[in-house]
Structure 1
Amino acid sequence: MRRSSLPRKDTLDHLTRLYSASDDPWDHRTSAYEAGKYAATLAAIGPGPFREALEIGCGNGTLARQLALRCTRLTVMDCIPAALQAARQVLAPLAQVTVIEGAAPQDLPRLDPDLVVLSEVLYFLTPDEIADLGRWLRDHATGPVIAVNWTGPTDEALDGASAVALLAEALGPGTTDHHEGFRVDRFDLPG
């Protein structure tokens, strides 16, 4: 994998500012939109149980708390320290969850997950980073990869559709469910 500073400094600064102002900058805990997105994500994932799941870009841990109920082991990661502090507080009662600091793809843990969740994280990566992530997933993941992306404009170089199209180049075709404001793509990797 290529080494890079991930995410880009301007993106990292932006996310750090958001989390320094609030541990829930997108209202993950209270928004009807977020609740609907989590329900659609969990429906795409299925009931499990998953032996060893990975959520990349866990934010404050709101989705991870729901996801953990379907997992024997769940590793969540984020690169924003304030987000991780919030996630650790939310997830502390769940012994099956490990919270790590890092950015994908260069800091991915040594796992062979049978579920990977990428919720609104892909468009923060560059095309090369998505290609590296796709290679890691092909080499390590043994089950579904769920990519959730906002369908509106982003302040990043990539939007959700172009970011998931780059992931599909690495993983092959998946299935897409379109919802109001977001899409959920599922890629089933061989076990």
Structure 2
Amino acid sequence: MPLEETLDHLRTLYAADPDPWRHDQSRYEREKHTRTVKAAGDGPFRQVVEIGCGTGALTARLAPLCDRLTALEAVPEVLATARVRMEGQGHVTVAPAVVPHDLPELSPDLVVLSEVLYFLTPQDIAALGGWIGTRAAPGARIVAVNWTGDTGHALGGPEAVDLLRQSLTHATWEPQVIFPGHVIDCGTCR
């Protein structure tokens, strides 16, 4: 799906329902977030970048692990929800960003990509990998979570994460961990 078509699709979803994936109510989402935080590690992390924060449900789980957290979201309609959720967390910034075009000038030691890669084009994933490769701190952890079912997009989760792995040749990847409905890929930048 071209970028604008993808953004239109997401805007339509969030306009119809402020939490279309039921991040707070769904057992699947809660378990996935628990597994994602566990995959990230104990921290503390100096600078975390979460790409595609949505409603901020996972952001809230990541916040205690770090000194600074920058949560990025492309859909303006959902930014307000994430910002309200993170009120009072002075070390957390929720910012608008269309990846890979609006990536921040940061040097994260943790990058979290939860069910976002298949919304991107192969070229966007390569550019995102380039950003991680040049911006991430040495030893930075990469956690990519992907849905294994039909995404309704040109890329499925497994194909999208394979493209990310290919673009991050300087990273050491752990064996993929498979759960019902999703997989978690973790890498470490060299």
Q: TM-score scaled to structure 2, two decimals? A: 0.94
C-alpha contact (below 8 Å) 1:102/1:108 kept by paired residues? yes
Moved over 2 A (4+): none
The equivalent residue for 1:3 is none
Over residues 108-139 of structure 1, what are the superposed CA-to-partner deviations in whole Å (9 max), with x where a residue is unaligned? 01100000000000001111111111111010
Corresponding residue of 2:152: 155
Displacement after TM superposition at 1:7 (Å)? 6.3
* Cα displacement string for residues 123-158 of structure 1 (whole angstroms, at most 9, x for unaligned residues): 011111111111110101120111000000111100
Match of 1:171 in 2: 168
Task: Give the match's secondary structure for 1:187.
Answer: strand
Deviation at 1:174, TM superposition (A): 1.5
Task: State how far apart, in whole Å, the 2-side matches of 1:18 and 1:91 are.
Answer: 22
Aligned partner (choices 24, 29, 35) of residue 29 of structure 1: 24
Instruction: Give the match's secondary structure for 1:116.
Output: strand
CA distance in 2, matches of 1:103, 1:9: 10
Moved more, 111-120 or 9-18: 9-18
| RMSD after superposition | 1.2
Number of equivalences = 185
Partners of 1:138 and 1:156 lie apart in 2 by 26
- Judge which range, 21-30 or 157-166, deviates more: 21-30
> Helix, strand or coil for the counterpart of 1:169?
helix
SS in structure 2 of the partner of residue 147 of structure 1: strand
2:182 matched to which residue of 1? 182
User: Mean alpha-carbon deviation: is it higher for 166-175 or for 81-90?
Assistant: 166-175
* Residue number among 111, 116, 125 corresponding to 2:111 in the alignment: 116
- Which structure 2 residue ranges, 5 or more long, are not aligned? none
How far apart, CA to CA, are the structure 2 residues paired with 1:106 and 1:185?
A: 23
Instruction: Structure 1: state its 5+ residue gaps.
Output: 1-5
Which has a greater percent of strand?
Answer: 2
**TM-score, normalization: structure 1?**
0.94
> Equivalents in 2 of 1:120, 1:47: separation in Å?
21
Q: Give secondary structure in 2 for the equivalent of 1:55.
A: strand
- What SS is found at the alignment partner of 2:134? helix
Matched residue, 2:43: 48
What's the offset of the Cα at 1:21? 1.7
Shift of 1:93: 1.7
